[in-house]
Chain A
Amino acid sequence: MTIDQLLTLIEHTALATRVREGDWWFPLDECLHVLSIVTVFGSILMMDLRLVGLASRDSAVTRLTKEVLPYTWIAFAFAVITGAIMFISKAKVYWHNPQFELKFLFMALAAANMLVFHFGVFRRVADWDDALPPPPAARLAGALSISLWIAVIFFGRWIGFTT
């Protein structure tokens, strides 16, 4: 089976058909997607600005990860679900859309950055939990994360203008 055949199969599922043909399914799903991503980006930005050393300087890094990141992950889960619902409604269109591909490329880079940070300098966070400025590796990870997520949001919005 080719990828296009698989995508066509996905487009013909009951849910995909309903989202595509209903008047309000897609807009409402998109609204929830926007709410999810503003929560994801807003909370990640708080974390990243702390890693860069620009904001929330009165909070220890681990304190902030406990306070902020649970909401990031809950919102991210909603973003994945609502995003998947949009995707299946026009799977072939999105799959072949360059902006869609770039969005996922930058999301993959953001994930890689997060893993490098998590298994790198974050393992020794006890040494720099309150240190200002934070170590260069943490500041770099924060700055990269901000830049990559900005790109994700730009290409995400751009998809709507090119599909």
Chain B
Amino acid sequence: MHDLLTSLANWIASTRLSLFFQTTEGLIAASQSIHILAISVVFGSGLMISLRLLGIGASGRTVSRLASTLLPWMGWALLVLLLTGLLQLVAEPVRELGTTAFWLKMGMLVCVLALNVWFGRTVRARAAVWDSAATRPASARLFAVVSLLLWVGIVLCGRLIAYTWQQ
């Protein structure tokens, strides 16, 4: 690990807040459980949107209706992910900041967030074009595949943090 990151992680670990998180029985397990519940909302929603764009599922609703139903849920769940993720970062900073899987996860997260903001805006602005399979741009399918792969990668890297960090 980079020296600066090591110092930062060690400093966070020594703060009173971190010590409180570390010593509160069951807190990390509870936070991780809520984290998994929230990623279920994000992953389930992302999966349905991707499948709809690929023409496989959720055919009962137009793309714009599905997006306006699911994107707000994804947004709130992402807020929960951020809060529980921050708690876990403060509680176990060395484990998170020193692990490649963590940084890979963060990198993929930034990409998928940017993609979804683009998707949400585009669909709202050009609902009619996106709702018809005939006029939907090819970028819709690309978005569907890439964002789904990114969510899968994020979930996998998240779990792998626990197995790849060096004490």
Residue of A nearest to B35 (CB): A157
Q: How large is the interface on A (under 10, 10 to 19, 20 to 34, 35 or more residues)?
A: 20 to 34
On whether the beta carbons of A154 and B33 are closer than 8 Å, the reply is: yes
Q: Are B37 and A31 in contact (CB under 8 A)?
A: no
Contact: A157 with B36, CB < 8 Å?
A: yes
B 59-90 binary contact with A (CB < 8 Å = 1; else 0): 11100010001000100000000000000000
Q: Kindly state the separation between the CA atoms of A60 and B155 in the bound complex, as whole angstroms.
A: 31
A100 to chain B, nearest CB (A): 14
Question: Which residues of A lie under 8 Å from residue B30 when comparing CB positions?
Answer: 154
Given the interface pairs A27-B163, A63-B60, A64-B60, the reply to whether A43 lies near B44 with Cβ below 8 Å is yes
Which residues of B sit under 8 angstroms from A39, Cβ to Cβ?
40, 43-44, 47
Q: Give the Cβ gap from A35 to chain B, nearest Cβ, in Å.
A: 5
Give 1 or 0 for each of A66-93: 1 = CB within 8 Å of chain B CB.
Answer: 1110010000000000000000000000
Tell me the bound Cα distance from A161 to B146 in angstroms: 33
Closest to B73 in A: A55
Which residues of B sit under 8 angstroms from A158, Cβ to Cβ?
29, 33
Say yes or no for B41: interface residue by CB 8 A criterion.
yes
Which chain A residues in 11-69 approach chain B with CB under 8 Å?
Answer: 27, 30-31, 34-35, 37-43, 45-46, 55-56, 58-60, 63-64, 66-68
Contact with B along A120-159 (1 / 0, CB 8 A): 0000000000000000000000000000001001100110
Q: Is the CB of A35 within 8 A of B40?
A: no
Overall SS of chain A's interface: helix
Asked whether, in the complex, the Cβ of A42 is within 8 Å of the Cβ of B69, the reply is no
CB distance from B24 to the nearest CB of A (A): 13
Any A CB within 8 A of the CB of B160: yes
Task: State whether A153 touches B33 (Cβ < 8 A).
Answer: yes
B148 to chain A, nearest CB (A): 11
Set of chain A residues within 8 Å of B73, measured between Cβ atoms? 55
**By the criterion CB–CB under 8 Å, are A31 and B156 in contact?**
yes
- The chain A residue with its CB closest to the CB of B59 is A67
> Quick check: B43 and A68 within 8 Å, CB to CB?
no
Q: Distance (Å) between the CB of A88 and the closest chain B CB?
A: 19
B29 and A157 within 8 A (CB): yes
Are A30 and B39 closer than 8 Å at their CB atoms? no
Interfacial residues, chain B to chain A (CB-CB below 8 A) = 28-30, 32-33, 36-37, 39-45, 47-48, 51, 57-61, 65, 69, 73, 152, 155-156, 158-160, 162-163
Give 16 A-B pairs besides A58-B61, A67-B57 with Cβ atoms closer than 8 angstroms: A27-B162, A31-B155, A31-B160, A34-B158, A35-B155, A35-B156, A38-B39, A38-B43, A42-B43, A42-B44, A45-B44, A63-B60, A153-B40, A154-B30, A157-B32, A161-B28
Instruction: Pick 6 A–B contacts, CB within 8 A, sort by A.
Output: A31-B160, A64-B60, A67-B48, A150-B37, A153-B40, A157-B33
